[in-house]
Structure formats: structure tokens, C-alpha cells
A and B are shown apart, each in its own frame.
Chain A
């Protein structure tokens, strides 16, 4: 069977111009631990917005796989580890790397990469089941990634 991997980076750049000072998904530099040292926006994120992204089904939907002891969200999943105290375990660069492309930190993990636009097999148009089109972009924006990093950094025990 032939599987085709579409490269959508080009489509993305054409489709949505990057705001000034924002690192595009295909330009992100990882350090040797799979972390990302530089902020994607050049600005600190907003932890409150980050919590919204974390818990909203329409945005990060992180609670599909994770739980946090202090958060009383309905139906948290347990496919991924509990994130209680995750701000003690990882520094900001590492958390950013895990969000951008978790596979650079955890080889082969089932956790999706949230700021990644190429290398997919049969990428779709969101949850329609149809093929991806020009509107294809990363799961979260640079700003949303920074917001979630800021939120996770507050999770200390």
C-alpha cells in the first residue's frame, strides 16, 4: 500500500501570515534535550489563557489524556501522566518543546505535537474526515503555546 505524506508547510505560510516576531512552526529550533529555548512570540505567556487552552475541548483538549489534582474538570483522561507538579519537573524550555513536538522529548509518544505542520500521513481537515486544505495549520498558535507553557510553569507542589 502507498501512503502519501503531504507537506503542508508551504500551504500554511501562504495561508496565514506570521505576526511580527513569531517563530513559524517549521523554523522552531530544538535543543539537544528536545526543549525549545526561545519563546515563540518573544513575549511571556498568560497563564489564565493557558488554562483555558489546556481545559477546552475545542482548543488544547489536554484533559482528554491528562489530569491535574487541583483541577476539577469533567472526564479527565489517564492516557498521559498526571500533570500535578509538572512545573517542578520540567523547565520552561522543556515544557515548550513537549508542546511544540512531544516526540522530540518522548520518542514515539502518543501525545500529539501542537505546533507542527508537516510530516503527517493523510492529514485531514480538522475532524471532518476530509483531506486537509489551505486552511491547515498547527493545532495551537504560537501565542496559545506560550500561554500553556506559562500555565504549566505555575503547577508546582
Chain B
């Protein structure tokens, strides 16, 4: 006799509300006593019932880690955002221009940007992430070299840009020209990679709320990126996180900045539609 997964999935789904109630807490995320961040929302229609409630990874972390994100002085990720602000204001490249020379105050020009990316770019004719847009400015308008994906300066400036959207709901376009990228990302999300044959969904859809060894599994949402991780004591980009998770399935990973991860970023971002932007967030 074979046991069908359906019954297993049902059993897991039934187990989640109890565990969830105990573990994914009901705390409210308010940053600096003023920025209210939505951390639980109704799933978007395109999730087709895959999740009963969409939750930020913040809910799956312990109280101390949660508290660090609630005050900019305690959030080590804000140091990266500050470094990013300095880079924003500093001229670079052969044109002798800074980001600020064209975009002014990021509190105005960059507000909402992080919430709407990755985005299909008409001119480039492809889907672009925030980091790709930053590099487009550097190479095409500043005469500067592209930054390495998910590394130092790119992550610090992305953190600063993300911080301008804190509290704003994730709202990415997945239709029209973005649709094929979204479909590709979805396919990757459900592919069981590596020798352990695990997909993103194996851990973050079927088992969020459960423990995998010492790790409390979240839904793997990316509204909080870049994320300051206590584990490696630095800001981490979305693609680096994807890479780490795929590596943990004993698979041959994709690289940060690859077409696969750009598509996956759009798809995972769309799973968190409506969650508030938290970047730079704090996780373990």
C-alpha cells in the first residue's frame, strides 16, 4: 500500500495552526515607535490557496531578535544603510557624479522602490532587480564599474534604498511582460533540487512553523531584505540567501545575479504581496 502525500500534506497543514499559534506569535512590528509594518496578510489570489496566511519571517524569530529590528539604534543592519547613504552622496566614476546628483534626497526619490521590484524594464527589455538598476546607473550614467552582486557596496546601498520603503506594502507586477519571469520563478520554487530532493516549498510552504534541527522554519518571505543575520554578522542579499538554501539541499546552486535567481526573486516577492517592507531586517 502506498501512502499518498495528500493525506500527509493535510496532516501537516492541520499541525501548523497549533504550532503557529504557539510559535509564530501575534506580536506587532513597529519600528522606532512610529513605522507600523504589516507582518501578516491574506494571501494573494495567485497563491491559489498554497498558504492560509502570509507571514513575515519576523514572527518566527525570538523576542530578542525581534526587538533588535524595532529600534534603529539596536539594528546592526542600519549601519550598512548609513554606509549606503554615504556612498549615495559620494561622486564616483569618470563623470564625477554621485547618485544624489541625479536623484536628490532618497527619502523622496527612492520611496516605494523596494516594494515594487523586481520590475520589468521596457528599455532594457528584461526583468530588473534594484541592484541591477543601481549598476545600470553606475555603468551608463556615472562611468563607474558595476558593483559585484550582493557584495559590500551593492548591499549597503540596497539596504539604504529599502529603508526608504519601510512599512510600505510589497506590490510587484507579475502580469504582462513580467509574466514569463514569474512563471519561471514559480517553476524553480517548486523544483526539488539536489541529492536531498527538496524544493523551496518543501521547507517554506509545507513545513513553516516546524523545526528543522535548530531552525524554526519561516515562509521564506523576502519583504525584509537585505537582512542582517546574527549568524554571519553582516547584511545578506536575497540571492545569497537563495544560494544558501539550495546549497543545503546538496545541490549545484545558481549564482547571485543569475537569470534563475532574478526570476525566483520576483516569484518569492509576489508570495509576500501586501507584507510591509522591513529592510534592513534582523534575523538569525
Contacts and interface: CB of A to CB of B under 8 A. Distances in A.
B243 to A, nearest CB: 7
B191 interface: yes
Interface stretch (B92-100, B203-211, B218-226, B269-277): B203-211
B252 A1 contact: no
A71 B134 CA distance: 52
Which label, helix, strand, loop or mixed, suits the secondary structure of the A interface? Answer: loop
Nearest to A33: B1
A121 B191 contact: yes
B252 A64 contact: no
A44 interface: no
A109 B8 contact: yes
Nearest to B212: A77
B5 interface: yes
Contacts of B202: 110
A105 B195 contact: no
Interface residues of B, number: 37
Contact of A77 (B211, B252, B260): B211
A109 B5 CA distance: 6
Interface stretch (A13-21, A46-54, A123-131, A146-154): A123-131
B4 interface: yes
B187 A1 contact: yes
Given A78-B210, A122-B194, A139-B195, A127 B5 contact: no
Contacts of B248: 127
A134 to B, nearest CB: 15
A27 interface: no
B30 interface: no
Contacts of B252: 122-125, 129-132
A12 interface: no
B193 interface: yes
Given A79-B207, A79-B210, A120 B2 contact: no
B214 interface: yes
A79 B211 CA distance: 6
B146 to A, nearest CB: 23
Given A75-B211, A105-B3, A106-B8, A121 B193 contact: yes
Interface string A66-92: 000000001111110000000000000
A33 B247 CA distance: 32
A124 B212 contact: no
Nearest to A103: B197
Interface string B165-201: 0000000000000000000100110011111111000
A109 B199 CA distance: 11
Nearest to B3: A106
Interface of B: 1-5, 8, 184, 187-188, 191-198, 202-203, 206-207, 210-214, 217, 243, 246-253, 260
Interface of A: 1, 3, 33-34, 57, 61, 63-65, 74-79, 103, 105-110, 112-113, 120-132, 139
